[in-house]
Amino acid sequence: MIKVLTAGALATVQDLGRTGALNLGVGTSGAMDPLALAGGNILLRNEENAAAIEIPVFPFKVRFERATVFAVTGADCAARLDETSLLPWWAYRAEAGQVLSLSLPKPGTWRATRAYLCIADGIDVPVVLGSRSTQLRGSFGGHEGRALRDGDELRAGRPNGRAVPGFGLMPPGLSLPLQADGVPAVRVLPAAEYDCFTDSSQEALWSTAWKITAQSDRYGYRLAGEVLNPRRRLELRSHGIVPGVIQVPHGGQPIIQMRDAQPSGGYPKIGTVIEADLWRLGQAPIGSSVRFIRCSWDEALGALADVRHWFANARRLVELHCGEGGGR
Amino acid sequence: MSNPLDHVDQLGTWLKGADLALLELRGPGANLRLVNDGASVRVVEGEEPKSVDAPTITVGASSPGIFLDRHPLHDRAIAAVAADVRAGEPLGFLQVGPLLLAVPAPRAGMVTDVLAAHGTIVGYGAPLFVLQPIEGQTS
Amino acid sequence: MTTDRPHVSLLGTTALLFEAPGETTLETQRRIWALARDAAGFAGVREAVPGMNNLMLAFAEPPRRPEEIEQRLVERWNVVEPLPIAGRCIDLPVVYGGEAGPHMADVVEHTGMHVDEIVERHSAPTYTVFALGSHPGYCYLGGMDARIATPRRKVPVLKIPRGAVSIGGSQTGVSASDGPSGWNTIGSTEVAFFDVNRSPPALLQPGDSIRFKAVRVLR
């Protein structure tokens, strides 16, 4: 049992997302940085899809009402357990009554903006339409279909006694770097209306940096940069879209659809950030810049394979370590 | 004969170039210790060697791996020479593939030597730190 | 944007999009429903999601060679028969204009019509539910009078309320919950389109239909 003392804003219970409900108009939701959520679960020997708390705004504070093994992954947010400084991406045991405090991430060797509090056996909220992720629009899933508030109490899943404290994981932000000219980058596949944009707009997409404006959140990232112009005015029919789609409304400034985006839309699509790189966007802070790298289908599949390999390798080494009775 | 202290800069350059963590010169009249923590080389003023009643502890690698003197998300070494540490606190880390293991201080004390450079591959048992335990402290 | 042949494109590695050619029609939509039913069974496809005369295939596992699934879709499209679904019809009471329709003025300006004419043209047809999308329970409707079509807004509005009745391009729809939208809101209704505790949770499905009934016109 965890009691939320300081919820900050926009902290939500998420898992890896809700699939199979697009025909009801229900999008994926899920963690903005799925590698951090799954990484924390792997560290705690949970199933990868166990629910955790996504924390985008700090400070954030919870009290453990029972002894709990936990890990804080994603951004390094100067975590403290009572007065003790904690390491990021590390499994710890809290005793009943101890308070975990997370603060604003400071610049370190990896720029990130969202933290994930993962606990042994996962956060136990009801499964709705196949997932524990919070569906903010429509107010269901997660914890009561809303962001966390001070005073909320969250339960842990049924204990399986597998988690072992006292070791950590290398953050994938360091193991899987991707930059273009020193700027964090993501790979993009051109989308249906790519060829409808002018040559100079296409060039601008790939060669200039895009700033993530303050009007960016789980629904979408509004970018500031060069104005992207179609060769002629485009008016499209409503069609299905997915997180990562880069829409260009009439103003010419792109919007990247993120986890809570509508599952359909009608603005022209110039490209789609590949699924394997969405976690990088999920950790890009407001005010930071990103670059888009054009990739091929095969390269996109290769990127997915790299991520899967990272998970599998992490799981294998964690099992080896815990199985040997390690983790002192 | 020239005094080694006059050649600290050159000695420091050689230390860095050879990727060594420590150079110690002792003589009847002087001690010189240069510590390379990866970011800089500095002269460490040492006290006279402690009495033989308080042996230092050498902390070795519990596993082969890449020695890190800091968590990879952090900018600075955790435990440089002359740092005081509590029992159980990490002095550094070993990276084994995606896993990170701590190199914990077996007892409270002061770090007197850092024997491996950040980012180097070390074998099982490789000496990493020398710790001068605090009298009377238990782990 | 109409084309004379179907167009298939990628949405990253997560999905692909099939656009039917020609103008947006109910006949084409019935063929899209049939194609969706077939494609839902293709290897690697998690879900087949109809849109307005288009179809998104969400992958459970992206195919090694997307060209193969693209070709298969086009081949099916060429032979598929319209699915003759006829669902139920519901009447939606709507308050048009004023506070209930904050963008009515934009529709007036674009179309050059008076509010009453817009209301009459909007509430005359029986609209077929072509697809669900956008947000939980939201129905994309076909059959709107092209004369009241108004382009989506230059800058999407950060929040329009549940029950908002809006026009975007040549389409109309009702918001099932509060949220952002690029459409022009002309009225408001109280009917609940989605309840996660209900089975099925969505009020309507493709093949059902709606009639808007003007209960008041605010000026």
Residue extent(s) of CATH 2.40.50.100 domains in chain B = 50-134
The pLDDT score that the predictor gives to residue C2 is 63
Q: Is B76 on the interface with A (CB under 8 A)?
A: no
Q: What string of DSSP letters covers A219-234?
A: SEEEEESSPP-BSS--
- How many Å apart are CA C105 and CA C184, to the nearest integer? 9
Neighbours of chain A (3+ CB pairs under 8 A): B, C
HSE-up (13 A, CA, CB side) for residue A309: 9
pLDDT, position B21: 73
Side-chain-facing half-sphere of B67: CA atoms under 13 Å: 29
Same domain, A37 and A143: yes
Chain C contact for A267 (CB, 8 A cutoff): yes
Q: Which chain A residues are within 8 Å of B72, Cβ to Cβ?
A: 109, 170-171, 174
Cβ-Cβ contacts under 8 Å, C200 against chain A: 24
Tens-binned pLDDT, residue by residue, of chain A (328 aa):
999 999 999 999 999 999 999 999 999 999 999 999 999 999 999 999 999 999 999 999 999 999 999 999 999 999 999 999 999 999 999 999 999 999 999 888 999 999 999 999 999 999 999 999 999 999 999 999 999 999 999 999 988 899 999 999 999 999 999 999 999 999 999 999 999 999 999 999 999 999 999 999 999 999 999 999 999 988 888 899 999 999 999 889 999 999 999 999 889 999 999 999 999 999 999 999 999 999 999 999 999 999 999 999 999 999 999 986 544 4
| Per-residue model confidence (pLDDT) at position B9 | 77
Looking at the complex, does the CB of residue A166 fall below 8 Å from at least one CB of chain B? Answer: yes
Residue-wise pLDDT for C79-103, tens only, equals 999 999 889 999 999 999 999 999 9
Give the Cβ contact number of residue C187 at 10 Å.
Answer: 31
φ, ψ for residue A67, nearest 5 deg = -60, 130
Asked if residue A305 belongs to a domain, the reply is no
The token duo for A12 is: 């939500």
Judge whether A259 and A290 are in contact, CB under 8 Å: no
- Token duo for residue B70: 């800091």
| Domain assignment present for A98 | yes
Q: Which residues of chain C have pLDDT under 50?
A: none
Same-domain check for residues A285 and A318: no
C204 with C210: CB under 8 angstroms?
Answer: yes
A19 and A61 inside one domain: yes
Tell whether A19 and A157 lie within a shared domain: yes
CA angle C216, C217, C218 (to 5 degrees): 115
- Residue A325's pLDDT is 52
Q: Do C137 and A25 touch (CB under 8 A)?
A: yes
As a whole number, mean pLDDT of residues B80-100 equals 93
Q: Rounded to a whole number, what is the distance in Å from the CA of C35 to chain A's nearest CA?
A: 14
Q: Can you list the domains of chain C with their CATH numbers?
A: 7-79 (3.30.1360.40), 89-218 (2.40.100.10)
Residues A260, A157, single domain; the answer is no
Domain carrying residue A287: 179-295
Quote the pLDDT of residue B119.
Answer: 96
Quote the number of domains for chain A.
2
Burial of A168 (0-12, 13-18, 19+ CB in 10 A): buried
Question: Strand pairing partners for A99?
Answer: A63
Confirm whether A328 is domain-assigned. no
- Whether residue B139 is predicted with pLDDT greater than 50 in this model: the reply is no
Contact of C168 with C182, CB cutoff 8 Å: yes
On whether both A79 and A141 belong to a single domain, the answer is yes
Identify whether A211 is part of a domain: yes
Dihedral Cα B109, B115, B119, B120, nearest 10 deg: -140
Give the tens place of pLDDT for each residue, B32-46. Answer: 777 777 667 777 765
Query: What is the secondary structure of C37-93 as a DSSP string?
Result: HHHTTSTTEEEEEE-SSEEEEEESS--S-HHHHHHHHHHHHHHPPPP-----EEEEE
CB A270 within 8 A of CB A225: no
- Contact partners, residue A323, CB within 8 Å, separation at least 6: none
Query: Fold for domain B50-134?
Result: OB fold (Dihydrolipoamide Acetyltransferase, E2P) (2.40.50)
Q: C-contacting residues of A 20-79, CB under 8 Å?
A: 20, 22-27
Q: Is A92 on the interface with B (CB under 8 A)?
A: no
Asked whether residue A190 is domain-assigned, the answer is yes
Q: Are residues A131 and A42 in the same domain?
A: yes
Dihedral pair phi/psi, residue A189, rounded to 5°: -100, 135
Q: How many whole angstroms separate alpha carbon C180 and alpha carbon C55? A: 23
Distance CA(C156)–CA(C169), nearest Å, equals 13
Could you say which of A108, A314, A317 has the minimum Cβ distance to residue B73? A108
Partner A contacted by B90 (CB < 8 A): yes
